[in-house]
C-alpha cells in the first residue's frame, strides 16, 4: 500500500514569528488532509506545538548561511527526501531554500516557496541570493504587495495566499477576564490608564522608537512593546534611553515575548503597527482585528490591504510620530462603543487561517503525482 504524500517544510528555526506560525498552521492542514507533514529546522520553542499537530520535526542546522553549510544541508535533505518519499519541498526562508532547491534538483521532488518579505538588496549578489525564493514550481506571495514585488524584481508570477487568523485562538469570547487582568497587573497599568500595544519583535524597522516619540505627546497613556528582542539587547537599551530622554520611561513597558497574545490584545485599548519599512503582510494587525481591537497601522506594505482607514482602523504616515500621536488621541477620544464597533467591523473582514490552509493544500494538489 503506497504511503500518503509527504510535504517537507524547511525554515531556519521554530521560535516565534509569522513564518514559524504559518509553518505550524500548514503542517496541521497537511495532517488533517491525511498526508504526512515533515518540518526541518534547527529547532526552537515551537517544536512541541508542531509535534502536537502530528507532524514530525527533523533537526538540521538550517539557520546557517554559509555556502558549505547550505551544501551539507542539501545532502541531508536529499537523504531525508528519499527515505520519506517526500513529494514536495516547501521553503520559507532563503538559506534553507537554497538547500531545498538543490535537493529538489537532485531528487525530482517538486519545489514550492513562500515569499515572506521584500528582502534587502544592499550588498552585491543579494538579488541572486534572494532569487531562490522566486524559483519554485509554485511561488506563494503572502500579500498583493509581495506579489507586485516578486513580479517587479524577478519577473515571476505568484499565487497570493493571504495569511489568516486562527479563530480557535483569537476569539474575544474565549479569553477569560482573569487572563486580561493578570497581564495588565504584570505591566503595572494604573487604573484607568489607556494601554497602547505594539506587538512586534524588537528590531529597529518595526518602529518602536516612533511610538516612544508619540508617547511624549500622550501624557496619560501606557505603551507596551511586546516582542522578543532576539538578542538585540543594545537596541532595547537604546529604546529605554530614548524613553528617558523624552521623559516617558515610567510609562513604557518592554515585557519581552508574550505567550498569551489574545489576552495581551484584549488588555490594550489600541493596537499600533508602526513599521518604518514595508511590512510583507502584518499578521499582528489581523490578530488584533480578530480580537476586535482598534488598530492604527503605518500606511505602507501589507497592512494597507487589511486596514481600511476610518472603517476597520486607521492609517498614518510611516515614521511620523506626531501624526501617530494625533491619531491615537483621536481614537481614544471616541466613545468606547464607537471604537468597539470599529473593532467588530474589522473582525468580520479578517482573512482566516482555514482559507489560507485550503488554498495552500489546493496548490500542493496541483504538484502531487
pTM here is 0.85
pLDDT band at 4; cut points 50, 70, 90:
very high
Domain ranges of the chain: 6-164+353-367, 172-347
Residues 186-209, mean pLDDT to the nearest whole number: 95
Nearest to 37 by CA among 57, 15, 61: 57
pLDDT of residue 120: 74
For residue range 41-54, list pLDDT tens digits in order: 999 999 999 999 99
Residues 128-133, mean pLDDT to the nearest whole number: 92
Quote the CATH superfamily of domain 172-347: Glycogen Phosphorylase B; (3.40.50.2000)
Domains 6-164+353-367 and 172-347 share a fold: yes
Q: What is the DSSP string of 28-78?
A: HHHHHTTSEEEEEES--TTHHHHHHTT-EEEE--TT---HHHHHHHHHHHH
pLDDT band at 1; cut points 50, 70, 90:
low
- Domain 6-164+353-367 top-level CATH class: alpha beta
Q: Report the distance separating Cα 317 and Cα 38, nearest Å.
A: 41
Q: Report the distance separating Cα 7 and Cα 10, nearest Å.
A: 10
Rg of the Cα trace of the chain? 21
pLDDT of residue 228: 87
For residue range 47-96, list pLDDT tens digits in order: 999 999 999 999 999 999 999 999 999 999 999 999 999 999 999 999 99
pLDDT of residue 25: 95
Strand order in the sheet with 110-115: 56-59, 36-41, 6-10, 86-91, 110-115, 138-141, 159-160
Amino acid at each position: 500500500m503506497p504511503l500518503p504524500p509527504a510535504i517537507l517544510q524547511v525554515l531556519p528555526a521554530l521560535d516565534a514569528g509569522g513564518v514559524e506560525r504559518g509553518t505550524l498552521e500548514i503542517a496541521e492542514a497537511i495532517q488533517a488532509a491525511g498526508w504526512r507533514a515533515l518540518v526541518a529546522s534547527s529547532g526552537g520553542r515551537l517544536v512541541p506545538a508542531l509535534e502536537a499537530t502530528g507532524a514530525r520535526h527533523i533537526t538540521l542546522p538550517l539557520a546557517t548561511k554559509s555556502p558549505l553549510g547550505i551544501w551539507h544541508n542539501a545532502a541531508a535533505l536529499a537523504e531525508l527526501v528519499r527515505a520519506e518519499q517526500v513529494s514536495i519541498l516547501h521553503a520559507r526562508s532563503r538559506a534553507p531554500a537554497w538547500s531545498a532547491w538543490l535537493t529538489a534538483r537532485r531528487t525530482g521532488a517538486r519545489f514550492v516557496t513562500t515569499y515572506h518579505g521584500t528582502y534587502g538588496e544592499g550588498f552585491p549578489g543579494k538579488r541572486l541570493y534572494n532569487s531562490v525564493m522566486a524559483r519554485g514550481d509554485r511561488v506563494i506571495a503572502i500579500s498583493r504587495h509581495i506579489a507586485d514585488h516578486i513580479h517587479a524584481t524577478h519577473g515571476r508570477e505568484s499565487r497570493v495566499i493571504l495569511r489568516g487568523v486562527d479563530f480557535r485562538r483569537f476569539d474575544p469570547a474565549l479569553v477569560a477576564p482573569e487572563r486580561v487582568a493578570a497581564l495588565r497587573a504584570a505591566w503595572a497599568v494604573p487604573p484607568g490608564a489607556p494601554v497602547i500595544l505594539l506587538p512586534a519583535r524588537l528590531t529597529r524597522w518595526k518602529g518602536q522608537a516612533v511610538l516612544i516619540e508619540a508617547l511624549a505627546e500622550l501624557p496619560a497613556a501606557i505603551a507596551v512593546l511586546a516582542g522578543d528582542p532576539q538578542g538585540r539587547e543594545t537596541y532595547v537599551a537604546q529604546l529605554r534611553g530614548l524613553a528617558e530622554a523624552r521623559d516617558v520611561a515610567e510609562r513604557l513597558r518592554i515585557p519581552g515575548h508574550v505567550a498569551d497574545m489574545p489576552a495581551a490584545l484584549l488588555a490594550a485599548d489600541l493596537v499600533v503597527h508602526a513599521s518604518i519599512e514595508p511590512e510583507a503582510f502584518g499578521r499582528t494587525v489581523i490578530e488584533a482585528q480578530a480580537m476586535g481591537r482598534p488598530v492604527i497601522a503605518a500606511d505602507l506594505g501589507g497592512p494597507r490591504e487589511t486596514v481600511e482607514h476610518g472603517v476597520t482602523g486607521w492609517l498614518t504616515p510611516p515614521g511620523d510620530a506626531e501624526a501617530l500621536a494625533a491619531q491615537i488621541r483621536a481614537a481614544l477620544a471616541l466613545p468606547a462603543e464607537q471604537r468597539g464597533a470599529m473593532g467588530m467591523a474589522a473582525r468580520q473582514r479578517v482573512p482566516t487561517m482555514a482559507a489560507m490552509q485550503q488554498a495552500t493544500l489546493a496548490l500542493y494538489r496541483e504538484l502531487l503525482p
